Structure 1
Amino acid sequence: MSGTAKALSRAALMLSQRQYVSIPQVFHTRTTPIRLQQTRRFSSSPFTYVPKDADEPRDIDLKDIGDLPEYSVENFTDAEKSMYELMSSEERAVFDAENKRFVEVWNDPAVRQEQIDLVEQSAALIDRESRMRFEDVRERNRGFWAEEEEDEFSNAEDGDDTYNDDEITSMAHAELELHREIREYARIAAWDMPLLSNLTKPFELPKENQILRFRYTSYMGEQHPAEHKVVVELSSKDLVPKHLTEAQRQTFLKLVGPRYNPDTDIVRMSCEKFSARAQNKRYLGDTIKNLIKEAKEGDSFADVPLDLRHHKPKVRYTFPESWKMTDNRKHQLLTDRELRLQSEQERNTVVDGKESVLHAIRTLPALSQHPQLRAADEKGAVKETVARGKVGARPRR
């Protein structure tokens, strides 16, 4: 079977190398010159041949280049014209002058030959300085896991078979990187931040036409969805009398609704519906402009009172005057403290519980009103008297 396969493959190879013709090929044999023999292809499909590769481009010698045509923008391609149109007038003038000079220099045979000789001398000098060396580089040992393997990616040694015990761990590298970052910010704080004092500007009060105060939020070192939010504040009294009258100001406050704070006379509005700060700021400016226009030209709502139910006034507690520390107050506190210490020293340190209870029953009216407590008090006093009498009249045997 193997011999048959080899024979067929050899025949197929021979037939594939034969030139294909549109009509059946005819061969005349020596034994039977009269008889015609026809050959049949091994495959029913016609042979296809790979197209011949194009010749490699030949290096053009500088001497073979003839004179260049006169410089003109009309000779540019569409892409070159589009790039030329993007230039400014000054850049176009410089570009045209340089190209015209190059064409004039190249069309001069003497100058052209000098330039060609200079290029050849530079190329020869470079070849002498950097000679090419062809050496047989021995293949490195690719390690145990790359033996008997022809994988092109394992030609380079990855160092998995060698271990250097003088290296630190990954956690130590992370700690070292953190230390480097801390030192970097320390250098910035020590050397760069003091230079910011050169950029300081004196404070200037806002002008009369600057009645809007915008506030932005920035998160250092990160991106936050609240960064594009913009808040605007203005005092309603700043609108009078340049922009609105007093009656129109009341209409303006009725239009803004719960955004008005009567304690501070501040109207506060915010916007975060757009992805850019400039858009949100422009939206707030247009909104305030439309409110002022509506307060001037629209309904005055004179029959509608100003609704301030949204505002909950905060109770602000003031420090009592009697609690303030004065010289008389200090003297009084020191005197009370000394009397308290003196009474504690004079008082007996050992406390008798029975005497304390009896004293409370005698002195406190709430306890003296209960008869059972008073009876217990009298009974305790009788027992104490009898016990003392027994101790004194005990006979001796």
Structure 2
Amino acid sequence: MLHQTGASRLVPALQDLSVHRTFHACAAAHAKPRRQRNRNNPFALNAMKHFQYDDIPTHGHMKLQKQRQLLGYYRLLKNEFPQLHELAEPFQPPPAQNILQFTFTHYQGEEHPNARKVVLHVNVEDLAKVHALDTTYAKHKFLLLAGSRWQPTSPALVGRLNAALAQSKEALDAAYNAEPLGVVTIASTAYPHEPQNMKWCSDVLDRMIEEANKEPSFADIPLDVRPYIKSNARGGQTLRPTVSDFPAEWL
């Protein structure tokens, strides 16, 4: 009797626990039937009607959109571009004093980390023409300060300048005035905006010119030839090839 009485007491409790547990854990009790859900969904495949051949496919709409875009450009070319003649100005070449060339990189309105980069190019002969580098020793010290940023016209020029430096001042003057000396390049990406990097490159060039005209002149230090030579497998060093090293029929 005690066992039956205990079992009869536990059965309702277990039934209540199973009911509450099923109602709480099962999401299907709150879900609507699939047919009822699809009846109210306008994007359901079963609710879509059959194609009545009264429209064009997606590819056709894309082609029409492309034609509308081209027509918009044609209208702009026909109606707006003739008005730009009123804003046209004759080209004025830069004066001889403007010897600095700045290179900017743009990506047609897109944001890019490299869009802030500014590169400054200046010819060493132009610095001498505007009297920024007055003496031959100033040119030599300027090339020493430039280092690998100096791009000579040929790798052999570095050897000829060093050979003239070892001989005498007259030979050095003749070597620096005999042929073009190349271009010095200064680049900057340190700042977030182009004008800031442009100003930094210009300031660096001004400091280099100022230091090149100061004493000491470093006339006993030759130019570094390592950026303009290459090493072979046996440890020797040869000059890098230039355009003059290739046959004429190859060019």
**TM-score, normalised on structure 1?**
0.37
After superposition, the C-alpha distances for 1:13-42 in whole angstroms (9 at most, x for unaligned) are xxxxxxxxxxxxxxxxxxxxxxxxxxxxxx
2:126 aligned with 1:238? yes
Aligned twin of 2:223: 306
Shift of 1:245: 1.4
Larger Rg: 1
Distance 1:314 1:278 in 2: 35
Distance 1:198 1:309 in 2: 55
Matched-pair contact (CA < 8 Å) for 1:258–1:308: no
- May I ask how many residue pairs the two structures share in their alignment? 168
Aligned twin of 1:260: 150
1:309-328 aligned at under 5 Å gives the runs: 309-311=226-228, 312=240, 314-316=242-244, 317-318=247-248
Aligned twin of 1:119: none
State, as a whole percentage, how many aligned pairs show the same letter: 30
2:115 aligned with 1:227? yes
Aligned twin of 2:139: 249
Aligned twin of 2:100: 212
Aligned twin of 2:202: 285
Residue 145 of structure 1 aligns with an amino acid whose one-letter code is R
Matched-pair contact (CA < 8 Å) for 1:251–1:300: yes
2:65 aligned with 1:177? yes
List structure 1 runs of 4+ shifted beyond 4 angstroms. Answer: 158-164
Matched-pair contact (CA < 8 Å) for 1:270–1:284: yes
Distance 1:245 1:172 in 2: 71
Q: Which runs of 5+ in 1 are unaligned?
A: 1-142, 147-153, 321-397
Q: CA RMSD in A?
A: 3.2
Q: Structure 1 stretch 237-246 or stretch 183-192: which is displaced more?
A: 183-192
SS in 2 for 1:226: helix
Distance 2:203 2:193 in 1: 16
Matched-pair contact (CA < 8 Å) for 1:230–1:281: yes
After superposition, the C-alpha distances for 1:289-328 in whole angstroms (9 at most, x for unaligned) are 11112212354211012234534451344469xxxxxxxx
Distance 2:215 2:62 in 1: 66
1:75-114 aligned at under 5 Å gives the runs: none
Distance 1:292 1:250 in 2: 11
1:114-125 aligned at under 5 Å gives the runs: none
Shift of 1:286: 1.4
**TM-score, normalised on structure 2?**
0.55
